[in-house]
Structure 1
Amino acid sequence: MAFDYDLFVIGGGSGGVRAARVAAGEYGAKVGLAEESRMGGTCVIRGCVPKKLMVFASAYPEAIAEAREYGWDVTAGGLDWPRFRTRLEAELDRLEAAYRNTLNSAGVTVHDERALIVDAHRVRLASGAEFSAKHILVATGGRPFVPDIPGRELAITSNEIFHLPALPRRALVVGGGYVASEFACILKGLGGEVCQYYRGAQILRGFDDEARGHVANAMQAQGIDIRCGTDVMRLERTGSGIRAVATDGSEEVFDLVLYATGRRPNSAGLGLEALGITLGRNGEIPVDAYSQTVVPSVYAVGDVTDRINLTPVAIREGHAFADTVFGARPTAFDHQLVASAVFTRPELGSVGLSEEAARAQEPVEVYATAFRPMRTAFAGKPDRVLMKLIVSQATRRVLGCHIVAPEAGEMIQLAAIAIRMGATKEDFDATCAVHPTMAEELVTMRKPVRIG
């Protein structure tokens, strides 16, 4: 049977674009791709990239205050938010164009409209056009989730935060994950007063307990009002803003309510159920190690599979798919030991097992130190950083590394290489320190603080 395309990709985010580019550019496949929104997906348009630029912007008031302690005669004026937002939108336009150019250069045909799956080898566009494809890849990502509470329409999500006409004076962030915690720090750094409600016992669930407690304490020290065990019952419009009625009995008015209570796979309305693909409880598409669904011609990568919802993971899954299907090199991406960073202030970098997970697995030794870093200590600030290693008693391998410090994301990337290679505690010990740095503490901790 002759097909219109060797591969049709639904979704123009990081995972789908990588799969399309590799299949077409490296393996010569005829590839079509449909994207109903902007090319680049969550990360480029409404996620990692604009968020990190806002992280940078929010750090300047603290940097200027620190500069004064070092003797610089500097003062900060107010943030020109419209100017920043204009620069931000121009950068996103540039990146979107780069994604399109990459696909065009690889020979991928782009359809700027929604697509759904008709059967195992056919897709239909919103315009009504249909195409046949030997293989179909779903890479539609995820979407923010706002619970069904009265007044939910008054809240915004991370999709809208980058396009505010003005910055809020007082903001409520609902959620305890990395997105919520990052935006709480961003809004605080940009000059607002911030409350963060989280229904759980501590923010950043899933990360090492000691590390996330360290981050929470640092955020509170900056003036962020974190209220764990608290959720919103309803939102109401008032003359002065949005009233949030909370489960702890409080009623407070905010200029902005940002919900960051998790994301859901963007799998609805694609025709998957009619094919016999049963979605998971959160809407995720079940796939095997090679990203293949129960329908042999249909694959899925990225956040829509709800495995590890990180952009670099989606990219590696997309590349592995192309290598497997078009490169005749069966490749399964290994989801173990994936490093991650939370861009709070200070940052949290993590790779491998938390202390709690490691203890549940086997006897371990825990090496940890918390100290005042040179730069901020000189400026008279009370900031403290945390360096932590989890070590297997049996094999001496480092099972986990957790860093809470400025630029922790940069440090954890390098630590992840060593841990991925199977480095032991003795390998860390044998590595000469780079002095004076914060990261040198990773190779100078000699005695465990906890054993068992």
Structure 2
Amino acid sequence: MNFDVDLFVIGAGSGGVRAARIAAGYGARAMVAEEFRIGGTCVIRGCVPKKLLAYASRFADDFADAAGYGWRVGETRFDWPTMVAAKEKEITRLSAIYRANLEKAGVQIIEERAEIAGPQSVLLASGRLISAKHILIATGAAPELAPHVPGLEHAISSNEIFDLKSFPSRLLIVGGGYIAVEFASIFARLGAMVTQVMRADNILRGFDEDMRTGLRDELCHAGILFGFGRLPTRIEKRDGALHVALSNGDLLVVDQILVATGRRPNTDKLGLENVGVALDAAGAVKVDAWSATNVPGIHAVGDVTNRINLTPVAIREGHAFADHVFGGKPVAVDHESVPSAVFATPEIGAVGLTEAQARERYDIVDIYRSSFRPMKATLSGRREHTIMKLVVDGASDRVLGAHILGHEAGEMIQLLGIAVKMKATKADLDATMAVHPTAAEELVTMRTRTARYERKPG
């Protein structure tokens, strides 16, 4: 059978773009459809603009710290419209680079919505039907506004917060995950009065407990008001403000409400039911180790599969898919020991198992933990602490996990992720020469075990 293209990708985010480029490099005729902007969530309304806002928020600390180092800084004022315009200029530049890279690779770009019409056919919004030997679903995920309460239509998601016309002086954030925490940290440092509420009793479920507690305390010190075990029950808009009733009986008056309680895979109205692509309970596309669905010729990568929802993972999955299907290289992505970061201030960097996870899986677990005041804070006078933690298998000495709370934790964990991935031992870290004076040197100089947990037989 003759096909219009060898590969049709639905979604021009990081995973889809990488898959199309690599496939084209193997000689495949590739086409990508995108109904919004080239670059996907990460470039347009995710990691990139969020990190830019995090940088902007940290200047408040820098200006305050400068006096301790002899600088005399005059009046400072943050201008939200200037930041929004600068952010838009940068993501437009990056989107153009994504487009140029696709075009250089020979990938055709279709800027309209596409849906699956059959096992090897795709229907465009314009009515054009395209046949494809292989179809890749790379549509990512979208914010899900919950809980569904009266007045929820007045709230916004992380998609809209980057382009607000005016800066919210009073901001309510609903949720305790990394997106909620990052925006709470950002807006508090930019000058907003931030209240953060959530169902849980602490932030960042799934992260190591010491990191969760340490960051929560730092955010409290930054002025964020936490409401644990409570959620909005009603939202009313009147007198130019939002009036929010909480489940514990409290009433809040705010300028804006950001709901960051989770994301759902973008599988609605994709035509998946036309061919019987299997979905899980969360609506994610079910795939095997090769990113293949239950329907021959249809694959999926990235957040739409709800495996590990991180941009580098989507990129790796897209690359591996193209290597396997078009390059004849049977590559399966290893989803173990994936480094990640929370870009709050201070940052969290994590790779491998938490202490709790290790204690569930291993008979002997050794903990090496250090908490110290970073060197910069000694002259600035800032109340700031760095926490570093290594989780080690007490039997083999292998480092099972590493966790950092502090300045540039994301940068440090990327490099430490190599050691954890290579199954380095604590002795390997001990044998590594320190770089002094740095915060990272603590990772190779923590010689004293702070705790040991032994699981009793039976």
Q: Secondary structure at the match of 2:441?
A: helix
Letter in 2 for 1:383: E
Q: Secondary structure at the match of 1:50?
A: helix
The 8 Å contact of residues 116 and 274 in structure 2, kept in 1 or not, is answered as no
Q: Secondary structure at the match of 1:439?
A: coil
Give the CA RMSD over aligned residues. 0.8
State the match for 2:43 in structure 1.
Answer: 44
Range with bigger deviation, 315-324 or 235-244: 235-244
Q: How does 1:74-89 map to 2 (within 5 A)?
A: 74-89=73-88
Deviating runs (4+, > 3 A) in structure 1? none
Q: Does 1:28 align with 2:27?
A: yes
Q: Note the C-alpha offset of 1:240.
A: 4.1
Q: What are structure 2's unaligned runs of at least 5 residues?
A: 454-458
Q: Note the C-alpha offset of 1:247.
A: 1.1
Change beyond 3 A, Cα 1:315–1:76: farther
State the match for 1:429 in structure 2.
Answer: 430
Letter in 1 for 2:421: R
Once residues 33 and 63 of structure 1 are traced to their aligned partners in structure 2, the CA distance between those partners, rounded to angstroms, is 43
State the match for 2:166 in structure 1.
Answer: 166
Range with bigger deviation, 225-234 or 305-314: 225-234
Show CA shifts across 1:158-186 (max 9, x none): 10111011111110011000000000011
State the match for 2:191 in structure 1.
Answer: 191
State the match for 2:66 in structure 1.
Answer: 67
Q: Note the C-alpha offset of 1:228.
A: 1.3
Q: Note the C-alpha offset of 1:281.
A: 1.3
State the match for 1:448 in structure 2.
Answer: 449
> How does the TM-score come out when normalised to structure 2?
0.97
State the match for 1:379 in structure 2.
Answer: 380
State the match for 1:308 in structure 2.
Answer: 308
State the match for 2:259 in structure 1.
Answer: 259
Once residues 320 and 239 of structure 2 are traced to their aligned partners in structure 1, the CA distance between those partners, rounded to angstroms, is 54
Once residues 438 and 212 of structure 1 are traced to their aligned partners in structure 2, the CA distance between those partners, rounded to angstroms, is 20
The 8 Å contact of residues 189 and 222 in structure 2, kept in 1 or not, is answered as no
Q: Secondary structure at the match of 2:411?
A: helix
Once residues 378 and 361 of structure 1 are traced to their aligned partners in structure 2, the CA distance between those partners, rounded to angstroms, is 43
The 8 Å contact of residues 240 and 253 in structure 1, kept in 2 or not, is answered as no
State the match for 1:250 in structure 2.
Answer: 250
Once residues 21 and 108 of structure 2 are traced to their aligned partners in structure 1, the CA distance between those partners, rounded to angstroms, is 11
Q: Note the C-alpha offset of 1:422.
A: 1.0
Once residues 93 and 381 of structure 1 are traced to their aligned partners in structure 2, the CA distance between those partners, rounded to angstroms, is 37
State the match for 1:370 in structure 2.
Answer: 371
Q: Does 1:403 align with 2:422?
A: no
Q: Note the C-alpha offset of 1:85.
A: 1.2
Q: What are structure 1's unaligned runs of at least 5 residues?
A: none
Q: Secondary structure at the match of 1:359?
A: helix
Once residues 168 and 437 of structure 2 are traced to their aligned partners in structure 1, the CA distance between those partners, rounded to angstroms, is 40
The 8 Å contact of residues 8 and 32 in structure 1, kept in 2 or not, is answered as yes
The 8 Å contact of residues 388 and 403 in structure 1, kept in 2 or not, is answered as yes
The 8 Å contact of residues 64 and 75 in structure 1, kept in 2 or not, is answered as no
Once residues 55 and 164 of structure 2 are traced to their aligned partners in structure 1, the CA distance between those partners, rounded to angstroms, is 18
State the match for 1:108 in structure 2.
Answer: 107
Q: Secondary structure at the match of 1:227?
A: strand
The 8 Å contact of residues 176 and 204 in structure 2, kept in 1 or not, is answered as yes
Once residues 159 and 110 of structure 2 are traced to their aligned partners in structure 1, the CA distance between those partners, rounded to angstroms, is 23
Once residues 431 and 162 of structure 1 are traced to their aligned partners in structure 2, the CA distance between those partners, rounded to angstroms, is 42
Once residues 420 and 44 of structure 1 are traced to their aligned partners in structure 2, the CA distance between those partners, rounded to angstroms, is 27
The 8 Å contact of residues 368 and 389 in structure 2, kept in 1 or not, is answered as yes
Once residues 144 and 420 of structure 2 are traced to their aligned partners in structure 1, the CA distance between those partners, rounded to angstroms, is 34
The 8 Å contact of residues 61 and 76 in structure 1, kept in 2 or not, is answered as no
> How does the TM-score come out when normalised to structure 1?
0.99
The 8 Å contact of residues 151 and 234 in structure 2, kept in 1 or not, is answered as yes
Q: Note the C-alpha offset of 1:280.
A: 1.2
The 8 Å contact of residues 14 and 40 in structure 2, kept in 1 or not, is answered as yes
Q: Secondary structure at the match of 1:369?
A: strand
Once residues 134 and 340 of structure 1 are traced to their aligned partners in structure 2, the CA distance between those partners, rounded to angstroms, is 35
Letter in 2 for 1:376: A
State the match for 1:220 in structure 2.
Answer: 220
Show CA shifts across 1:66-101 (max 9, x none): 001211011242112212211111111111111110
Q: How does 1:143-158 map to 2 (within 5 A)?
A: 143-147=142-146, 148-158=148-158
State the match for 1:54 in structure 2.
Answer: 53
Letter in 1 for 2:92: D
Once residues 394 and 133 of structure 1 are traced to their aligned partners in structure 2, the CA distance between those partners, rounded to angstroms, is 52
The 8 Å contact of residues 373 and 438 in structure 1, kept in 2 or not, is answered as yes
State the match for 1:276 in structure 2.
Answer: 276
Letter in 1 for 2:401: G
Q: How does 1:349-364 map to 2 (within 5 A)?
A: 349-362=349-362, 363-364=364-365
The 8 Å contact of residues 273 and 279 in structure 1, kept in 2 or not, is answered as no
Q: Secondary structure at the match of 2:282?
A: coil
State the match for 1:206 in structure 2.
Answer: 206
Show CA shifts across 1:123-146 (max 9, x none): 000000000000000000000000
How many residues in Structure 1 have an aligned counterpart in Structure 2? 451
State the match for 1:6 in structure 2.
Answer: 6
Letter in 2 for 1:38: R
Once residues 198 and 251 of structure 1 are traced to their aligned partners in structure 2, the CA distance between those partners, rounded to angstroms, is 15
Show CA shifts across 1:180-218 (max 9, x none): 000001101111110000110110001001111100010
% identical aligned pairs: 53
Range with bigger deviation, 374-383 or 37-46: 374-383
